[in-house]
């Protein structure tokens, strides 16, 4: 996947994003995703939301787009240096969202979600390396020359978030329990209704 979000998480009560280092008896050791990379311990009481398991609602009620795919779309259009910030004008943020995801659900994706998406993308793009997805015609040399039993088809790009959490809370945030539909949940806190068919990451 373009940005590897498997170990990146938002933690309730703690600003920013963190890399999960390893579990401890009291919680998990985390490393701030910034230039300092400060390490600390997140208590087991803290709600940890893995970005890989977050997705965003679309106008098709049963469809969501994994956060990693949303990040990839942003990268394709804006590169690593996104000029928008979470403090930009709401109209600019709405236009930005429509540009990268025209079919996003205007009712279930709040402005706070879009601001969180922008904020998280800026952190991720500045601290993680972008890996261009492999193209289909890039066939390993061995496979190209030898006619042996055909290898199993690679799993489709769905090693990306399986969207059990639709990003309709605090921006790109888990959508597990939408307890305050009117408000705008914050990272790792309230999340929108969990999708029954998708499993747990805008």
* Residue percentage of the chain with pLDDT more than 90: 52
Question: pLDDT digits over 116-164, tens only?
Answer: 999 999 999 999 988 876 655 554 544 444 444 444 444 333 343 333 4
Instruction: Give the pLDDT confidence score for residue 184 in this predicted structure.
Output: 44
Query: What is the pLDDT at residue 64?
Result: 96
Task: Output the pLDDT for position 93.
Answer: 97
Mean pLDDT of 99-115: 96
When comparing pLDDT for 64 and 25, which is higher? Answer: 64
What's the pLDDT at 145? 44
The predicted structure's pLDDT at residue 8: 96
Q: What would the mean pLDDT of 100-113 be, rounded to a whole number?
A: 96
What whole-number distance in Å separates Cα of residue 20 and Cα of residue 8? 6
At residue 110, the pLDDT reads 97
Residue 146: other Cβ atoms inside 10 A: 7
Of 108 and 165, which is predicted with more confidence? Answer: 108
For residue 80, pLDDT beyond 80: yes
Residue 76: its pLDDT value, please? 94
- pTM score: 0.66
List the single range of 6-10, 97-101, 141-145 with lowest mean pLDDT: 141-145
Q: Is the per-residue pLDDT at 66 higher than 50?
A: yes
């Amino acid at each position: 996947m373009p940005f590897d979000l498997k170990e990146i998480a938002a933690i309730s009560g703690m600003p920013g994003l963190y890399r999960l280092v390893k579990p401890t008896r009291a919680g998990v050791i985390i490393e701030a995703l910034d230039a300092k990379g400060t390490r600390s311990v997140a208590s087991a009481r803290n709600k940890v939301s893995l970005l890989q398991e977050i997705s965003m609602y679309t106008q098709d009620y049963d469809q969501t787009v994994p956060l990693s795919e949303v990040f990839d779309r942003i990268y394709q259009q804006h590169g690593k240096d996104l000029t928008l910030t979470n403090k930009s004008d709401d109209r600019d943020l709405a236009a930005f969202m429509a540009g990268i995801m025209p079919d996003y659900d205007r009712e279930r994706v709040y402005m706070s979600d879009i601001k969180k998406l922008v904020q998280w993308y800026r952190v991720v793009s500045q601290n993680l390396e972008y890996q261009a997805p492999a193209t289909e015609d890039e066939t390993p040399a061995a496979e190209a020359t030898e006619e042996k039993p055909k290898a199993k088809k690679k799993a489709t790009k769905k090693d990306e978030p399986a969207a059990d959490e639709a990003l309709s809370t605090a921006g790109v945030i888990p959508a597990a329990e939408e307890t305050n539909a009117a408000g705008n949940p914050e990272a790792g806190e309230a999340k929108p209704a969990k999708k029954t068919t998708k499993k747990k990451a805008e």
